[in-house]
Structure 1
């Protein structure tokens, strides 16, 4: 069923009914390297990259349609990984200060404890106001940009690494 062997910490087995028969639903959790095709594995998460330019809201919707959110970044290792899979393209991440200027939040609700602002361009600068959403630039640093009118970044989505088998 999978092209390579699976290494998992937990397997959840649930009986389910299907066409008046009993079948089993398997959830493989805390897998090492289990991500769907076109997704990249890193530290118990799967990441998806799309380099087509889009608005922040379009990027958010695309990630949500795949059961993910725009990525949060919590460590230098994760930052390096996101930059590597973005392959020199600017990409939206899930950081924003839409609710209160200067108070940043991750879309996935995780705590904001790490930043990698592009200091060479004086980020975050809220230039001309309304720059409430964050991109990883092609140089790797972060910049605040306009969510609804700035259409020059792709996206990186993130979700927990697991696979459900029916």
Structure 2
């Protein structure tokens, strides 16, 4: 029994000695280092690929969530959640002021809101504004300041070749220099001095 144990210990010693000899060989060390580097590289590539897939999936989830929120926000606030005082109609957003001012000042205030005084160029828009203003005086973007009797919208388009809704007998420039238009009774248009103080309507495209 002791003899067999002695043989076993001798064999183990030889195996250890052989391994030590192998490890002392520079070629063996380089091979082991190369294998270790290759293994680390493979593990890193697999981990990086996994992270990339997870990141892509997370981005898609965020985009989908954003689309859902945007859709819900548009239903509730078609002019944008940060512009709740604006009213939506037929692809445009309208702001009906709560303060009165001159036509020129109203023009500037609309521009500060990245919009312009309203252009009323259809029956549908006229009905919308008429219902909303309820016989109050509101400036619209129509004037003949550049040439008397030549009424143009604020974007330069000629009002005489399109839709109009002047009150009977208007514009008449009855008090002279009545160069700006506002909506009044039943939403009809009337010319008046541009320094007159009225409420005003701003218009801008609805956000996409």
- RMSD between aligned residues: 2.1
Using CA pairs below 8 Å that are at least 6 residues apart, which structure has the higher relative contact order? 1
Count of residues paired in the alignment: 135
User: For residues 103 and 3 of structure 1, what CA distance do their matches in structure 2 show?
Assistant: 44
Where structure 2 has 5 or more consecutive residues not aligned to the other structure, the ranges are: 1-68
Check if 1:34 corresponds to 2:78: yes
Choose which of 177, 189, 192 in structure 2 pairs with 1:142.
189
Choose which of 129, 147, 155 in structure 1 pairs with 2:176.
129
Check if 1:4 corresponds to 2:83: no
Question: TM-score under structure 1 normalisation?
Answer: 0.74
* Structure of higher CA gyration radius: 2
1:81-127 CA distance string (max 9 Å, x none): 111222331100000011111111111234531110111xx211101
Partner in structure 2 of residue 29 of structure 1: none
Partner in structure 2 of residue 64 of structure 1: 111
Determine helix, strand or coil for the equivalent of 2:187.
coil
Of Structure 1 and Structure 2, the greater helix share is in 2
Question: TM-score under structure 2 normalisation?
Answer: 0.60
Shift of 1:6: 3.6
User: For residues 72 and 131 of structure 2, what CA distance do their matches in structure 1 show?
Assistant: 24
Shift of 1:138: 3.5
Choose which of 100, 103, 109 in structure 1 pairs with 2:156.
109
User: For residues 99 and 107 of structure 1, what CA distance do their matches in structure 2 show?
Assistant: 11
Deviation above 2 Å: which 4+ runs of structure 1? 1-7, 108-112
Rate the CA distance shift 1:105–1:77 in 2: closer, same or farther, 3 A.
same
1:113-156 CA distance string (max 9 Å, x none): 1110111xx211101210110000043110011112x12x1001
Where structure 1 has 5 or more consecutive residues not aligned to the other structure, the ranges are: 8-31
